[in-house]
Structure 1
Amino acid sequence: MKQASTGHLTVIGGGLAGCEASWQAAKQGVRVDLYEMKPERFSPAHQLPHLGELVCSNSLRSNAVDAAAGLLKEEMRRLGSLVMRAADTARVPAGTALAVDRQQFAHFLTKTITAHPLITVHRREVMRIPDPDNGPVIVAAGPLLSGPLANHLQNLTGTDNLAFYDAIAPIVDAESLDMEVIYRKSRWDESGPGDYLNCPMDKQQYEHFIADLAAARTVPLHAFEEPKYFEGCLPIEVMCARGPETLRYGPMKPIGLAHPQTGHLPHAVVQLRAENRQGTMYNLVGFQTKLTYGEQQRIFRTIPGLKQAEFLRFGSIHRNTFVCAPRVLTSSLEMRGKPGLYLAGQLSGVEGYIESAAMGLVAGINAGRQALGKVRLLPPPATAHGGLLHHLTDADPARFQPSNVNFGLFPPLPRKIPKRDRGRVRAEDALLAIDAWHRLLT
């Protein structure tokens, strides 16, 4: 027997974000129609008919609460996340990481969602986004969104606001940079200190760097991907393979970057650009790459000034449909100019399974509240959920790229904390804040 309910919500996509969004709305007493195209049609990456299928890995990364990824998981647990219940139920030994049996994980999600009296699962493909005037709609169709639904979303967001490939450069923690080696200067700008940090290389350092790069291991393409690289955004290892001087005439060009104190012109320069307004994290300009994470850390730490660099995000290039969130979304994940239409999961502009589920959680809470005539409520900024939302809505639209959760997305700590204690302190503060927010929701 169906439970009595008020309000109605449509969710498109039965992945982690769609399942989490449906669960969060149904918990509030909202009736949910969840649409999943499998098994009527499978994407090139999917094989199982279950909801919540993990494709690329069984690892959901760190489970330690003093790491940003682990903190996000703990916040989700405290908010009653179904995805975290499934992950904890299907967990397999993996040290401090949270790894799961993928089939057991998907089976748990499918069984729990289909058994909920307020959730109706429709196994068919949606070609067009329903009108949100008839009730809130969440689109959580995943990073491989294509076909008529992708075309409709592109029409709604604007052609320039929907991307189909990530080209992501690594991000490093500002406090881990060696400012005795690095200097601040913008190319050709003699009027001030400049907006870029510069890591200078001499000829020998450059030659060692490109030799390491040429021999490095890369991540193979998935079967559903094609090597779709754009000339203006090539992987650095692809540029390197075109000749030993290619990088010196590309992203590592030294022209216009003489040292402001000595006047010396380096042989090559790696430039870093601030990734946020607080200047707590920096992007390696032009360093989008398919190198494995281990190789990125090993090779990029040979760059002068980056010997002790802490990587908040590694570079990547892969197939991923996502919107330019700062232009398209409000802080509740609602589309600007389209009240009642929400985006969740990787489509909203985050990277990673747990981040996708977390955005499904936020979208489900707020779309459910809207269906019940309640005001939207946002997680506090100094939480992992709040940090991700801040990235989606406050990043520079011209340079926006999806991101995993990391402490660089959080507001600066209000007090000086020793480096070894910062993760713990952030976690303590965040969990107090998320508990308070949870009480407001209930």
Structure 2
Amino acid sequence: MTHQVHIIGGGMAGSEAAWQLARRRIRVRLSEMRGSGDTTAAHNGDGLAELVCSNSFRSDDHEKNAVGLLHHEMRGCDSLLMAAAEKARVPAGSALAVDRDAFSAEVERALAAQPTLEIVRERVDVLPSDGLTIVATGPLTAPALAGSIGAATGADSLAFFDAIAPIVYRDSINMDVAWMASRWDKGAEASLALGGDGRDYINCPMTREQYEAFWAELVNGEKTEFKEWEANTPYFDGCMPVEVMAARGVETLRFGPMKPVGLDNPHWATPEHPNGRWPYAVVQLRQDNKLGTLWNMVGFQTKLKHAEQVRVFRTIPGLENAEFARLGGLHRNTFLNSPTLLDRQLRLKSAPHIRFAGQITGCEGYVESASVGLLAGLMTAAQITGHDWTPPPRTTALGALLSHITGDAEAETYQPMNVNFGLFPPLHDVKKKARKEAYTERGKADMTVWIATLP
């Protein structure tokens, strides 16, 4: 099959772009390095759209949450990734979390069924000199291709570290110490609809003494050593290693991933407090697969050495005998200075036959990566079919994110960014308490109009 578009990279962005093109009967060659004998430092398998870090797409609340609004808009654009997530969904309160293996398998099944899509397991080392191309190789782009991108852009890509949280086997958690609950019972209705019981997180409580001892172990634990080329690479705050957060101060974790508020510990119940009391700090675990056998440690991305992880994390009450299906890790991510290098249609200014999509553009997060792939697919489809491209309004989550990547952000200080209401045109005339709902109502209305213009 002679292709009209070559997509390099079969992760979240590449898979979504391929879907948007193939469902419009455009011929696509999707090149994925994994499965050809090559892999990355973070991937475990060769499935398309493999989730290498958390299994959560974050909040699914589209009434007053920016990422929830992005979910809503992508569903309206017939997103494959959103449809696959729904089929692979596991209970996680108001968040959208998935069985990562089922999710990847569903994405690959749907793409393999497209008659105009060819999936090829191959490594691409050089940017194509002609032909419409979408580069969606993500933050772990292979060195040879990264070098080719650097040569084409005339500038070094920026880089940051990304850290992965450990996954624990459910049957190794001591439930005589830990307990099931969602903070403030938030998302109970959504959980029940998915077969959960409204108590979607495992909570491991700590007293003040336990917390302070744990904090000291984190700060003093043996860390992964950096290679020379990694020495000056910054962290992205959204995936900050837990021990780096801890080093900012003894109380930092208690106001971050270990905050105890809204979590009454029934094991500590007394006649005066029959529902228990808040612990001094809490470690939460979230279901990672549909079987409920694997649970990941929320917010516990880490660069501790593997032996240290086992030793330190087993000091957490309830995890004394924890068995780990996967230990945490650290890898170097790369991304372009997109406001400088890309035009408003994600095209490389120096080689406009090439578009970039996903995390390599400097967006951060699974959903954001997929959404930029979706947009790249729609832009390319419009170009091939002769339709004028009109970007989504900046009042929408898709439009706000695209505008940030392609020019609204300051090039000198450009850093990876999750979608958030700070990227939207402000609503100063709306009271602060009602502003989030107003952003989402405006975005939904404008998105409905824009979707109707798509070919």
TM-score by length of 1: 0.67
CA contact (8 A) 2:153 2:350 kept: no
1:417 aligns with 2:431: yes
Distance 1:351 1:92, change over 3 A: same
Q: Give the match for residue 75 of structure 1.
A: 73
TM-superposed deviation, 1:398: 1.0
Alignment of 1:159-174 (within 5 A): 159-160=155-156, 162-166=157-161
Write the distance in 1 (CA, Å) between the matches of 2:14 and 2:87: 19
CA contact (8 A) 1:21 1:364 kept: yes
CA contact (8 A) 1:9 1:371 kept: no
Q: 2:141 aligns to what SS in structure 1?
A: coil
Q: Give the match for residue 275 of structure 1.
A: none
CA contact (8 A) 1:30 1:372 kept: no
1:395 aligns with 2:409: yes
1:131 aligns with 2:129: yes
TM-superposed deviation, 1:167: 9.2
From 43, 51, 54, the equivalent of 2:51 is: 54
Q: Give the match for residue 45 of structure 1.
A: 42
Distance 1:416 1:77, change over 3 A: same
Q: Give the match for residue 90 of structure 1.
A: 88
Write the distance in 2 (CA, Å) between the matches of 1:384 and 1:8: 29
Alignment of 1:28-427 (within 5 A): 28-40=24-36, 41-65=38-62, 66-132=64-130, 134=131, 136-160=132-156, 162-166=157-161, 215=216, 226=226, 290-291=241-242, 299=252, 319-392=332-405, 393-413=407-427, 415-419=429-433, 421-427=434-440
Q: 1:330 aligns to what SS in structure 2?
A: coil
Task: Return the letter of the residue paired with 2:86.
Answer: D
Write the distance in 2 (CA, Å) between the matches of 1:216 and 1:299: 15
From 10, 13, 21, the equivalent of 1:25 is: 21
Task: Return the letter of the residue paired with 2:26.
Answer: V
Q: 2:119 aligns to what SS in structure 1?
A: strand
From 400, 421, 438, the equivalent of 2:451 is: 438
CA contact (8 A) 1:216 1:291 kept: no
Write the distance in 1 (CA, Å) between the matches of 2:120 and 2:223: 29
Distance 1:408 1:229, change over 3 A: farther
Cα deviation, 1:171-199, whole Å, max 9, x if unaligned, reads xxxxxxxxxxxxxxxxxxxxxxxxxxxxx
TM-superposed deviation, 1:373: 2.6
TM-superposed deviation, 1:337: 2.7
Distance 1:99 1:228, change over 3 A: farther
Write the distance in 1 (CA, Å) between the matches of 2:242 and 2:426: 30
Cα deviation, 1:374-419, whole Å, max 9, x if unaligned, reads 2222111011111111221221111110101111111111522242
Distance 1:229 1:38, change over 3 A: closer
> What fraction of aligned residue pairs are identical, expressed as a percent?
38
Task: Return the letter of the residue paired with 1:147.
Answer: P
TM-superposed deviation, 1:27: 2.3
Distance 1:338 1:441, change over 3 A: same
Distance 1:100 1:233, change over 3 A: closer
CA contact (8 A) 2:160 2:234 kept: no
Write the distance in 1 (CA, Å) between the matches of 2:12 and 2:254: 35
5+ unaligned residues in a row in structure 2: which ranges? 164-211, 256-300, 303-329
The RMSD of aligned alpha carbons is 3.6
Task: Return the letter of the residue paired with 2:101.
Answer: Q
CA contact (8 A) 2:159 2:234 kept: no
Write the distance in 1 (CA, Å) between the matches of 2:232 and 2:129: 38
Distance 1:294 1:231, change over 3 A: closer
Q: Give the match for residue 15 of structure 1.
A: 11
5+ unaligned residues in a row in structure 1: which ranges? 169-210, 236-282, 303-314
How many residues align? The count is 331
Cα deviation, 1:414-436, whole Å, max 9, x if unaligned, reads 522242x2221111111111111
CA contact (8 A) 1:23 1:113 kept: yes
Q: 2:30 aligns to what SS in structure 1?
A: strand
TM-score by length of 2: 0.65
Write the distance in 1 (CA, Å) between the matches of 2:374 and 2:161: 24
Q: 1:156 aligns to what SS in structure 2?
A: helix
Task: Return the letter of the residue paired with 1:165.
Answer: F
Task: Return the letter of the residue paired with 2:6.
Answer: T
CA contact (8 A) 2:42 2:331 kept: no
Write the distance in 1 (CA, Å) between the matches of 2:83 and 2:32: 21
CA contact (8 A) 1:39 1:49 kept: yes
Task: Return the letter of the residue paired with 1:426.
Answer: Y
CA contact (8 A) 1:333 1:363 kept: yes
Task: Return the letter of the residue paired with 2:67.
Answer: A
TM-superposed deviation, 1:127: 1.2
Distance 1:59 1:372, change over 3 A: same
Write the distance in 2 (CA, Å) between the matches of 1:82 and 1:221: 41
Write the distance in 2 (CA, Å) between the matches of 1:75 and 1:24: 14
